[in-house]
Every structure is written in structure tokens, then in C-alpha cells.
Structure 1
Amino acid sequence: MQQNFINGFTHELKTPIASLRLFLDTFYKHELPRQEQLKYIEFMKRDTERLADNVEQILYLGRIEDRSYKGEMSLVDLSKFMESLIEKARHLHEDLEIKIKNSGENWCHVDRKLFEALVLNLISNSDRYKQSSSGLLEVDVLGEGAKITLSFKDNGIGIDKKFHKKIFKKFFQVGKSAKGSGLGLYFVWQVVKMHKGNIKVDSEGKDCGSLFTITLPRVKFND
């Protein structure tokens, strides 16, 4: 499994590096019109962001697995926080339509950086495993009683039911053709657990999309 991780993570790093090399080589060898330059610069920005996200995820995971680390918690309105994260994600995933709805203010304690990485990880998965060039992800924030339910529902390739209990395990990947390092959903699970929450996945199988549901403790204020 560790070898699968090394292969997967190396691939995750090499892909944007190869892309950056190609774009830089193009700049070096050709005189490009300004409009073309701006297009390639935007591509390179995305590749550097992808590299940074991959490295940051490994560093975060190392901190989380250190049991003494409890996170840098702050009180946030998860509805507004999610709206800001979705806006950022739309810029990074232009071929994925992302819709969000919420039930008003929903306050909870989160580590902002870790939770942002969690959300962007789930969104990246929806983009990576979409069925067509234009996928759909629906994000819902619902506060009820003592808990907040955060759901991510997509119309992607789906997940076979036999993998539902395994998918959050470290280094686990669905089949040899799986993309990524095998750490993404393990990272998500660890972050949710650190926030004293729960996460589950539902999918009817191949080509039926996936639903990831996270529940978190909700902070209620006295009227």
C-alpha cells in the first residue's frame, strides 16, 4: 500500500511539474502575443496551486496524526465560510458546476485551514471523477438542533457499495485505474474526526454519482 501511495503521490507532483516545464519551454522558444501569454500564465498559476495543495495536504496529515495536535479552532458561521470556499473552488474547477444552499447561520468550531483543505479535497474528487466534461456538484449546509449536516452530492462515476466501508482507509484506492495518492479521503476522515464529527458515503454504484455527508457539532446561542 505504501508503494501505491509513493507512486500516486509522485504522479500528483510530476503532472503539474511536467505541465509547468512545457509552458516555460513554450515561453522560452516562442514569441507569443500578450493574450497567449496571459493564457499560459493562468495555466501555470493553476499548476503551482495544485503543487502547493498536494504538499500542504501531506504536511497537514502529519500534524493531524500527531495525537497532541488539536487544531487551531475558531468559531465560524459555516454557511458563510462554505460560500467563500465554493467561490474559490469555482475559479479552480471551471468545468464543474457547483451549487450551494444553506439554512441560514450555522455556527461551529473549525480549524479554518484544515477545513478548507477538506472541502477543496472533496470538490477536487467530484471534478476528477465526473462522467463528462461538465459535472455537477450540489453542496448543502443544514443546521438542525445540536448538529450541522454538510453534504456534497455529485453526478459522477459513483462508488461501488462494496468499497463504502474501505474508502476512508489510508492508501486505499478503488481499482488500479484510480487517480491520486490514496490519501485524500483518509485526510478528509481525519479532519472530520478531529472536529468531533462523522462522515459517510452513499452511492448506488457505477455512473450513479456519490453523496458524502458530514455531521458536525453545532454551537447554539441563547436567545
Structure 2
Amino acid sequence: MWLNDQQTSDSAIDAYRASLLSACPNHVVIDNLFNADRLDDVIQVLQQPDNWKTQQHTYAALYVDNAEWQKASSEQRFVQRDVWQRQENESSAAQDLLSFLRGNQFMSLLSRIFNVQLTDINVSDPEINTNYFRLGAADFVAQHADDSPGREVCMLLYLNKSWQNNAGGELTFLGQDDKQISVAPLYNCCVLFDRFSKGSEHWVERLNAEYAGLYRYNVVSWYWSE
């Protein structure tokens, strides 16, 4: 089982929904939602040096090549991070978790929390919408909105054991009235948010220079409604 049953009771789901609706942006932070032992197996896979590829986006275009990246100004550079590469016909805990996150059980849980029916029926390539990312000290995710048409829910799950409080790497929401909201990328911390809600624009704080050898790992998964 991937989920921690104590965190998925009817009363827990009611509490998540109440927290979601009362926050600006509409979001909820859930600690220990997943089975920690199984996440340990995932981390062992992700910490291997293989299967990672640098990903770079500008505000004008996604997946730019190095020549386009070098031409872009610093103000136009939006994302630089590593993305995990799936291996065909290879089984691992990391790949099993990605499959679970797009499966009926987890999507049903999210549907109950957000009170909207989530489905991949109209998503042409669901797999590309759920994956692992890592950021080093030179990487960044600048302010943006996850506003692809039809997208309803964004989920982030952090996979950083013994994360240092002064390491940086917090997810920061714009919020409202200059009241930004930051979430530390702590182990087995899951963040769910409604991308339509006010103040949901967000970014990732850079890692502090003294942690140059550290990587920040997380899963990002986007979900659509019918």
C-alpha cells in the first residue's frame, strides 16, 4: 500500500477539504500521507546518478535547447532543473509510485478532497504530467501559474530526508495582501492546490550556496477534470 491509512479516513478528508477552502490560495499541506517505508525505496532509486536530464524552459517556450537557452535573457528564463527519465520495460519503486499517482485510488482521493471528478480520459499523454524533479544550487523555478487549460489540481510530494531548515528550496505561493505562504520541502510532505484560486502563482526559493552539493527532490503531478 502506498498510502498511510490513518491519513485517508473520512474525517481526515473532511479536514483536508475544510483547510483547502479556508486558505488563500486554496491549498492543503498533508504530512505523512504516504507509506514512509515505500518512499525510502523510491529515494534509493532517485539518488542514483543515472536517469536524470537537465530541463530548461523560458516564458516563451518549453523544452528549449541549449542554443535557445543561451540567447534568452535572465528575465525570460523560467525553469532550470533535472527531470527523471523513465526506462521502458524496467520496474522500480520510483516507477511504481508514478503509476500509483495516476491510478484510480489516488485520483479518487483527490476528487473527494477537491469535490471535482478528476480523470485522464481527455489527457493525451498522462505520464508526462507526473514525474520526479531535482534542483541543485544552480537551478531555479521562477514565479509562474500552473494554468494549462482544463487543469484542476496540482500535487507536490517532497522526498528530502533530514532537510536542513536553512537550506532553502521552499515552495512559495504569492498569496494575497503581500502575505506569501512558504512550505519547506520536508520528507513525505504533500502539497495540494487549486490552480484557479487567487494567489496560487508560485515559485521555488533557491538553495543556499553552502548546500552546493545538495539536491532537492520532489514529485509533481497535474490533474484534469472531465
RCO comparison, higher one (Cα < 8 Å, 6+): 2
TM range (shorter): under 0.3
Normalising by structure 2, we get a TM-score of 0.27
Bigger Cα Rg? 1
Normalising by structure 1, we get a TM-score of 0.27
More strand by share: 2
